[in-house]
Amino acid sequence: IQGTIRPHAIIILPNTSGMELLLTYEDEGIYIDIYGHFTKETVLQWGEMPASVAYLQSNQVMGWGEKAIELRSVETGDLEGVFMHKKAQKLKFLCERNDK
């Protein structure tokens, strides 16, 4: 990537003893180990650039974009749900509270 990279989140993948990570930046995410080696050929690709990204206890990653909230599998990056919204807001933090 040329220029500035906009990072979102570093997510420790479940069932890896803290050895594998999902790094989310710009409009994608990559799977690496703690040594910086790729662990999956898969690249998580958001439908639109998220302003915020958060890990959910349901093993999903949530991305808040300008027009939609996307839920993706943390293991595969597959799209599992989309919630459309009309009002774009800039969030300081995006997180899960009480399993919601």
β-partners of residue 20 are 33
pLDDT tens figures, 21-70: 999 999 999 999 999 999 999 899 999 989 889 888 889 999 988 889 99
β-partners of residue 68 are 84
How many independent structural domains does the chain possess?
Answer: 1
Is residue 97 one of the residues assigned to a domain? no
Say if CB 64 and CB 52 are below 8 A apart: yes
Is residue 26 one of the residues assigned to a domain? yes
Quick one: tokens of 49? Answer: 């650039």
Is residue 41 one of the residues assigned to a domain? yes
Is residue 13 one of the residues assigned to a domain? yes
For residue 21, with 0-12 CB atoms within 10 Å meaning exposed, 13-18 middle and 19 or more buried, which class applies?
buried
The overall average pLDDT reported for the chain is: 86
What stretch of H or E contains 96?
Answer: none
Is residue 59 one of the residues assigned to a domain? yes
Is residue 98 one of the residues assigned to a domain? no
pLDDT higher for 93 or 39? 39
**pTM of the entire structure?**
0.79
Look up the domain containing 34 and give its range. 7-84
